């Protein structure tokens, strides 16, 4: 086995060690030896399996997409079925359905017993996650956007996602009713779990009027209103979402305590009077300068002692995580407007806008959302 190249002088001992280690581990002869040696083969095999998961992850996601698109997971909600019956139901050749079902078992979504296939606990949980199936179907757009990943990261791709979410380009782009309905429906479904996590970590019990800025059709406000029946509600968003939001509050029996103020935070100040403002999955849609202006507007709209709550997927900062630094970072790049930020970055933006008492309550499921709160000084 060839020796690793000698690291240059003038660098830290830890950096020299890492360079030496990586030189050794990246040697194919070392890998072959480590796979056989009793003290290293368990680690080598585990790392190899993890690398294979990275290599084949795109196929896993396509198998998941097929199980959703063909209605297979939904079909198994009622009980176990044979592969042939599922194949006939989906219009798929029997041998291909068998392969897809076995893939579902391997991915932990299905179980196989005596020639019958059924949902696993994970598969059933997928069906129970609000909006998750719709988001999986929506991923076909993202798949096309990252088809050439090198071009994507060079910024050469004209992404479809930039057109799917037209509201981030301003109110005028979102006036087309069909587009507004499309993004509002997906946003509302995907916000249900975000609302659950946010309201479990943040209390609005002391608030009089909660204004949700950029809240779409009001999914978060509805959840906040149910959890806090004493709080008055205000939705501030583009005119295109008003009809659906009105219908939502009426169906929830909240039309008497929930008001809708149409407008764009890009075009002027925010309405005053609220002592709490929520920004749920809003900041990561926009560039830093837009976010800074929005937070200053929120600061101006709040009274002394008023509170702001930011809830959205965030990166891990000094400790990158998969949900924020991989999935949402790439998704935001495909949108071509905003970016995923860490709690520290959001906290710094809030402080720059004048807020104090910045806190980062920990949600139960950080892959769903992260939270930063702050207060306007008295």
For the ranges 4-18, 59-73, 217-231, 278-292, which has the lowest average pLDDT?
4-18
pLDDT of residue 6: 58
Return the minimum-mean-pLDDT range out of 153-157, 171-175, 281-285, 313-317: 171-175
Neighbouring-strand partners of residue 279: 310
| pLDDT at 90 exceeding the cut of 70 | yes
pLDDT at residue 239 tops 80: yes
The distance from CA 276 to its chain's CA centroid, rounded to whole angstroms, is 24
Mean pLDDT value of segment 357-371:
91
List the chain domain ranges: 13-128, 142-375
Mean pLDDT across the chain: 90
| Element housing 309 (H / E) | strand 307-312
pLDDT at 9 over 80: no
Average pLDDT over residues 139-160: 94
Q: Does 320 have pLDDT greater than 60?
A: yes
pLDDT score for 179: 57
Domain formed by 142-375, architecture: 3-Layer(aba) Sandwich (3.40)
pLDDT, tens digit, 9 for 90 and up, residues 162-217? 877 655 444 444 455 565 566 666 777 778 889 999 999 999 999 999 999 998 88
Q: Which CATH number fits domain 13-128: 1.10.10.10, 3.40.50.970, 3.40.50.300, 2.60.40.10?
A: 1.10.10.10
Residue 25 has a CB neighbour count (10 Å cut-off) of 13
Say yes or no to pLDDT of 145 above 60.
yes
- Give pLDDT, residue 182: 61
What is the DSSP annotation of 212-264? EET-TTTHHHHHHHHH-TTSEEEEEE-GGGHHHHHHHHHHTT-TTTEEEEE--
Residue 10 has pLDDT above 80, yes or no: no
Q: Report residue 240's pLDDT band, with 50, 70 and 90 as the boundaries.
A: confident
d(CA 167, CA 183): 9
**Hey, what's the torsion of the CAs at 6, 10, 15, 16, to 10 degrees?**
20
The average pLDDT across 55-63 equals: 95
pLDDT at 244: 87
pTM for the whole structure: 0.85
């Amino acid at each position: 086995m060839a020796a690793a190249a000698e690291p240059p002088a003038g660098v830290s001992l830890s950096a020299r060690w890492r360079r030496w280690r990586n030189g050794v581990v990246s040697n194919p002869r070392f890998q072959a030896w480590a796979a056989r040696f009793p003290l290293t083969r368990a680690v080598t095999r585990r790392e190899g399996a993890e690398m294979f998961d990275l290599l084949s992850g795109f196929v896993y996601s396509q198998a998941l997409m097929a199980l959703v698109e063909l209605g297979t997971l939904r079909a198994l909600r009622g009980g176990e079925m044979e592969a042939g019956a599922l194949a006939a139901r989906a219009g798929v050749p029997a041998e291909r359905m068998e392969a897809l079902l076995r893939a579902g078992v391997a991915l932990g979504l299905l179980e196989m017993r005596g020639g019958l296939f059924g949902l696993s606990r994970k598969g059933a949980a997928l069906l129970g996650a609000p909006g998750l199936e719709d988001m999986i179907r929506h991923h076909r757009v993202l798949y096309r956007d990252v088809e050439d990943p090198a071009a994507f990261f060079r910024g050469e791709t004209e992404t479809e996602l930039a057109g799917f979410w037209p509201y981030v380009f301003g109110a005028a782009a979102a006036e087309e009713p069909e587009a507004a309905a499309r993004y509002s429906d997906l946003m509302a479904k995907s916000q249900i779990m975000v609302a659950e996590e946010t309201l479990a970590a943040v209390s609005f019990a002391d608030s009089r009027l909660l204004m949700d800025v950029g809240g779409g059709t009001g999914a978060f406000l509805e959840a906040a209103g149910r959890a806090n029946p004493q709080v008055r509600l205000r939705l501030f968003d583009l005119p295109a979402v008003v009809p659906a939001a009105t219908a939502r509050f009426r169906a929830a029996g909240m039309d008497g305590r929930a008001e809708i103020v149409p407008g764009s935070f890009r075009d002027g100040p925010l309405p005053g009077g609220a002592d709490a403002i929520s920004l749920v999955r809003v900041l990561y849609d926009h560039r830093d300068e837009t976010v800074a202006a929005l937070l200053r507007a929120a600061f101006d709209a709040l009274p002394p002692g008023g509170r702001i709550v930011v809830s959205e997927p965030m990166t891990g900062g000094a400790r990158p995580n998969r949900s924020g630094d991989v999935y949402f970072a790439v998704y935001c790049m495909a949108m071509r407007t905003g970016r995923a930020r860490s709690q520290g970055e959001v906290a710094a933006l809030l402080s720059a806008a004048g807020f104090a008492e910045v806190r980062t309550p920990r949600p139960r499921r950080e892959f769903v959302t992260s939270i930063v709160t702050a207060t306007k000084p008295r």
